[in-house]
A and B are shown apart, each in its own frame.
Chain A
Amino acid sequence: NAGVTQTPKFQVLKTGQSMTLQCAQDMNHEYMSWYRQDPGMGLRLIHYSVGAGITDQGEVPNGYNVSRSTTEDFPLRLLSAAPSQTSVYFCASSPLANSPLHFGNGTRLTVT
């Protein structure tokens, strides 16, 4: 199993550009989520999904969209990038409630 795969690893955007961060898992996990990690702020939940066709907002959803058309994929879309979205983004999945999250390797995004 590859686990949780994120692409790209690095990305530089200009203010106002849009892009999609990809996340795929091959463990048949129902739950998938996106976190952003900023220095001194820990991991903050952006959006999450408990199954195909179901998504919901986390703690910091503004400026981001998600969709879950299949169990495997959970892309994160930045609609109009802003410098405040410069961060490291982690996708994570888990099979059950109250079970460990499996993280991808992260995407480092810089918005200039």
Chain B
Amino acid sequence: GENVEQHPSTLSVQEGDSAVIKCTYSDSASNYFPWYKQELGKRPQLIIDIRSNVGEKKDQRIAVTLNKTAKHFSLHITETQPEDSAVYFCAASKGAGSYQLTFGKGTKLSVIP
């Protein structure tokens, strides 16, 4: 089955700096890669997603890149703000055209004012 590895598990950055979180996946048939943000005590919420026919996608300060050959994808947050502090999860679809998602173990991002 699909295996998703996420690094680092914790990340501290100064306010205004950039943050990068990386994930690798094992199933070459996976074609959907969402990222979720979870604030303390809250539910995970989608922040950005990418499909396998696209190499990069941006939404304001957030971007995701996908390298299908190497089977890895990354989340980039620029100009970090204290409200970016949260746990971030990457996920990959279990094969092509699947409803199922396999999640990474999460990255706790702390933005220091």
Q: How many A-B residue pairs have CB under 8 A?
A: 56
Knowing A98-B31, A98-B32, A100-B34 are in contact, say whether A43-B44 is a contact too (CB < 8 A): yes
Interface residue from B9, B32, B51, B103 paired with A43 (Cβ < 8 Å): B103
Determine if B44 and A103 form an interchain contact, defined as CB atoms under 8 angstroms apart.
yes
Q: Note all chain B residues with C-beta closer than 8 A to A100.
A: 34, 46, 49
B10 CB, nearest partner CB in chain A, Å = 11
Distance in angstroms between the alpha carbons of A31 and B98 in the assembled complex: 10
Q: Note all chain A residues with C-beta closer than 8 A to B101.
A: 45, 101
Q: What are the 4 tightest A-B residue pairs by CB atom distance, in nearest-first order?
A: A98-B32, A42-B105, A103-B43, A31-B99
User: What interface size band does chain B fall in?
Assistant: 20 to 34
B33 CB, nearest partner CB in chain A, Å = 10
Query: Among residues 1 to 58 in chain A, which have CB atoms less than 8 Å away from a CB atom of chain B?
Result: 31, 33, 35, 40-45, 48, 50, 58
Residues of B participating in the A interface, judged by any CB pair closer than 8 Å: 1, 6, 9, 31-32, 34, 42-46, 49, 51, 89, 93, 97-106
Determine if A41 and B43 form an interchain contact, defined as CB atoms under 8 angstroms apart.
no
Interface residue from A42, A94, A103, A104 paired with B99 (Cβ < 8 Å): A94
Residues of A participating in the B interface, judged by any CB pair closer than 8 Å: 31, 33, 35, 40-45, 48, 50, 58-59, 90, 94, 97-101, 103-106
Q: Which residue of A lies closest to B104 (CB)?
A: A42
Distance in angstroms between the alpha carbons of A44 and B100 in the assembled complex: 11
